[in-house]
Amino acid sequence: MLQSRKGWSTNSDSEGLKLKNQLCFPLYACSKEMIRKYKPFLEELGLTYTQYIAMLVLWDTNSINVKSLGEQLYLDSGTLTPMLKKMESAGIISRSRDSGDERNVIVTITEAGMKLKDRAAAIPARVKSDLPLSAQEDKQLYDLLYKLINEMTSAE
């Protein structure tokens, strides 16, 4: 069981280095546990969590260049390229060079990939129903996390 943080007690170097005083750790642990909750539902679709979030973008856009996909998912090409190769092998996406600029690779959802959308539609509600947050807490957490993401990435 994880312990609640009692504030940013950084009176000494040793306090600042305690796991319980690290904001990064509960974010990391929560992310890991959230992905674990998705896993059984995604296995039914033959998707990993990272493939699932890529499919979320593709179900919305149908087609996107690899660079834009990576930006939306906060993934670099070293992670994205092998994942997209596996998805292409599975027949749920196709990749092609942009005719206007050969350096750009376009990812397009296939008919088989689009068919997964209906099967995936209930996943968010199924996962959410298992979370111990009220609707208000859910919204607050969502807003805070995006505030943090936006502030951290805008500084770059």
For the chain, domain boundaries: 24-123
Question: Which residue from 30, 6, 19 is spatially nearest to 138, judged by alpha carbons?
Answer: 30
Q: What is the pLDDT of residue 11?
A: 56
Q: What is the CA radius of gyration of the chain?
A: 19
Give the model's pLDDT for residue 2. Answer: 52
* Helical (H) or strand (E) element with 35: helix 24-45
Its pTM surpasses 0.85: yes
Question: Which residues lie below 8 Å from residue 20, measured CB to CB, with a gap of 6+?
Answer: 3, 5, 6
Q: Which residues pair with 96 in a beta bridge?
A: 106
Q: What is the pLDDT of residue 155?
A: 72
- Per-residue pLDDT of 96-118, as tens digits, reads 998 888 889 999 999 999 999 99
**What pLDDT is recorded for position 4?**
55
Distance, in Å, from the CA atom of 146 to the CA atom of 154, rounded to the nearest integer, reads 12
Q: Which residues of the chain are under the pLDDT cut of 50?
A: none
24-123, what's its fold? Arc Repressor Mutant, subunit A (1.10.10)
Structure tokens at 128: 């959410």
Q: What is the pLDDT, as a whole number, of residue 107?
A: 97
Please tell me whether residue 1 adopts helix, strand or coil conformation: coil
Are 65 and 103 a contacting pair, CB within 8 Å?
Answer: no
